[in-house]
Amino acid sequence: MAGTCESIKAFVLLCLLCGLGTRAVAQDEETKCCCTTYDTSVCLSKVHDKVDAELNATYQKALALTRRFGSQDVEKLREAERKWTAYRDAACDAEYGLWGGGSGGPNAHTMCVIRLTRQRTNDLKNVYTKMNR
C-alpha cells in the first residue's frame, strides 16, 4: 500500500511539473495583464487589437487562396466567418454572464474573445496553409 501511495504522489507531482512547464512556455500576453481592473482592461484591449489584426490578415489570405476555387467557395468561407463571429459573441457573452454583473465580467469577456480569436486564426492558418502547398 505504501508503495502505491508513493507512486501516486510521484505521478501527481510529475503531472504538476509538466503542467507548470507547459504553461510557462505557452504563456500568452493576456496573462501578463495585471493589477487594477482598469489596468487589466487597458492591457487586454491592446492584446485584443493585436490578435484581431492577426485574424483579419489571416482571413484575407484565406479569402485570396479560396478565390482560386471559385465564388461559391469564397461565399462559403464568408458565411463560415459570419457564423464563427456569432458563435464567438454568444460564447463570450455566456462567459461574461458567469460574473453576475461583477467588475471582472468585461475583462473575462475580452479574454474569451482573445482566446477564441487565437483559435480561429490557428484554424484558418492550418486549413488554408495546407491548401496552398
In tens digits, the chain (133 residues) has pLDDT values of 555 545 444 444 334 344 444 333 335 788 888 889 899 999 999 999 999 999 999 999 999 999 999 999 999 999 999 999 999 999 999 999 999 888 899 999 999 999 999 999 999 999 987 776 5
Express each pLDDT in 91-114 by its tens digit: 999 999 999 888 899 999 999 999
Helix (H, G, I), strand (E, B) or coil at 90: helix
What is the rounded CA–CA span in Å between residue 53 and residue 31?
19
Express each pLDDT in 67-80 by its tens digit: 999 999 999 999 99
The secondary structure of residue 39, as a DSSP letter, is H
* CATH placement of domain 33-131: 1.20.1270.180
On whether the CB atoms of residues 92 and 11 are closer than 8 A, the answer is: no
Domain locations in the chain as residue ranges: 1-31, 33-131
- pLDDT for res 6: 55
What is the rounded CA–CA span in Å between residue 103 and residue 115?
20
- pLDDT for res 21: 40
